[in-house]
Structure 1
């Protein structure tokens, strides 16, 4: 732990105590409200998933995943592969941000699953995940930010250069891919049509909720910047640099002793 408390002018900060406390409260309120909007959006996303899941042919998805695994996966080692969990997207002050270049940097071939509601892709990605791990492949599993413990959206397998991505209005992934897979081929389109009005309502509400969450994050950033200014104005950066030099010398000493 590196403590920098002795690098600021405590007496000067005490004079701004009330302002600092108020800004801290404002920042916390923005984040709390943002979390509530995100939770509401997540609830509607899950509602849309449950609606569409009733019209999915799970057996057809399982058979397709088995054929796909037979084509792409070859056992690399004995035993089960390892799994790393990551996120590719996040709700930020600039809206939903997705690291679209990461899959392309790690995988030469991308299978892109076009699935607006996630009912098909969730089953397909979980099946692909299971087949890959059983084949001894090391994978990167990327979950949905609204359901981080349940909804698997992307599976990347860098060691064989193959990735599987889910594309929808929140992360469209307008990238060049090896093959497109359309969710509709695994769904009862006629039955789903009867739920069109409810799904449309959810979609619009989700957009509003996510937009407000991003706006609150932007507001929190502005408050944080103002709060930070209170501290930087009364910071002795010569002392900070001195501590940095001392810390670097410690690292150098440790490094030299290990050589």
Structure 2
């Protein structure tokens, strides 16, 4: 078995579909980036999964990039040792070649469909696509409403936070984590992804898979809406200034601004936000050798003014109820979008030559075997 990690390069957010696909593999670090083109139901995920299975059997460490529209579908993989990415390049991701031939390659699965048979369903496909877009618009409107509630929670927790105590906590962590590290003239790189996603099946996360190789794991317990990002950003900047690459995983509600989780692979340190939407017990995140992992529990509730929290207790309770209601409505409409998309897929599946697609996957496997 190979080492594997699972996360989302894109997400459903109050801003609509939010993409960090550009962070998957940089042009200079990549040996090959393969962009898969084709319509719904054309076998992109199956194609990607087949290649992943081939290299997983050989022990290649693999990152599995999940789809926020359907968590069980893959939008891509990264073969980490080979520095190869295979990515679904269709809407809404729209990943296109940047350095064609030298780095990027396009594979068009549309070459293996029966165009006449698909065209016969033109009006139905267009109607279903429009219906699918409508469900997404409704879902994103609910998410926008949820974000307003989230901001109110954030406002309350900001006013309750005991900043001086938090700064002491952060200073102690930085001193401990970076004890043997000096400031570097070469800044580290920052990659951005999502560890969890809002899907038609609810809020889904794969956080434990990201922590297997981490030696020191900080579990930061905090309520939904608590401003952990400033805490995370200070620690992240400390790593970057010391020449360390980091992986930052962002909040679905504030995708461009709020870091929820942080990995610093160079020193095996991880910082994970826990709340009721991604809650875990320490035993759930233990790697293969538990004795090599140190798990530190931090409770940010201990660093808030208790009297102020008590004063706003009824409001906090009400806001959490409203937030849950709006998020549930979001999920229901995302599920309607998913079900509608599956109907579109059913128009393509019978009209695809999957035998030829499977043969093509084997050809790609042979090509990638040559990359050291």
Counterpart of 1:233 (choices 342, 350, 363) is: 350
RMSD: 2.8
The yes-or-no answer on 1:197 pairing with 2:317 is no
Flag the 1:7–1:138 CA change in 2: closer, same or farther, 3 A: closer
The yes-or-no answer on 1:248 pairing with 2:248 is no
CA distance in 1, matches of 2:172, 2:358: 60
CA distance in 1, matches of 2:115, 2:234: 58
Structure 1 residue 170 displacement after superposition = 1.2
Flag the 1:81–1:140 CA change in 2: closer, same or farther, 3 A: same
Structure 1 residue 33 displacement after superposition = 1.4
The yes-or-no answer on 1:82 pairing with 2:189 is yes
Q: Deviations over 1:2-54 (max 9, x none)?
A: 44556444443343222222211111111111211222222211221112101
The yes-or-no answer on 1:56 pairing with 2:161 is yes
Look up the match of 2:272: 165
Structure 1 residue 171 displacement after superposition = 0.9
Structure 2 residue runs of 5 or longer lacking an equivalent are 1-105, 284-293
Flag the 1:180–1:236 CA change in 2: closer, same or farther, 3 A: closer
Structure 1 residue 236 displacement after superposition = 4.5
Aligned-partner SS, 1:147: coil
Q: Deviations over 1:73-120 (max 9, x none)?
A: 131672333322221110112211111223321312211111104435
Is this contact kept in 2: 1:40–1:209, CA < 8 A? Answer: yes
Larger proportion of helix: 1
Larger proportion of strand: 2
Look up the match of 1:26: 131
Bigger mean CA offset, 121-130 vs 43-52 = 121-130
Q: Deviations over 1:113-142 (max 9, x none)?
A: 111044352332122222232333322211
Look up the match of 1:135: 242
Flag the 1:39–1:120 CA change in 2: closer, same or farther, 3 A: closer
CA distance in 1, matches of 2:130, 2:227: 42
Give the alignment of 1:142-221 within 5 angstroms.
142-176=249-283, 178-221=295-338
CA distance in 2, matches of 1:156, 1:190: 34
The TM-score normalised by the length of structure 2 is: 0.61
CA distance in 2, matches of 1:63, 1:230: 59
The TM-score normalised by the length of structure 1 is: 0.85
Counterpart of 2:214 (choices 107, 112, 115) is: 107
Flag the 1:234–1:49 CA change in 2: closer, same or farther, 3 A: same
Look up the match of 1:35: 140
Structure 1 residue 239 displacement after superposition = 6.2
Flag the 1:126–1:55 CA change in 2: closer, same or farther, 3 A: same
Instruction: Count matched residues.
Output: 254
Look up the match of 2:65: none
Flag the 1:55–1:229 CA change in 2: closer, same or farther, 3 A: same
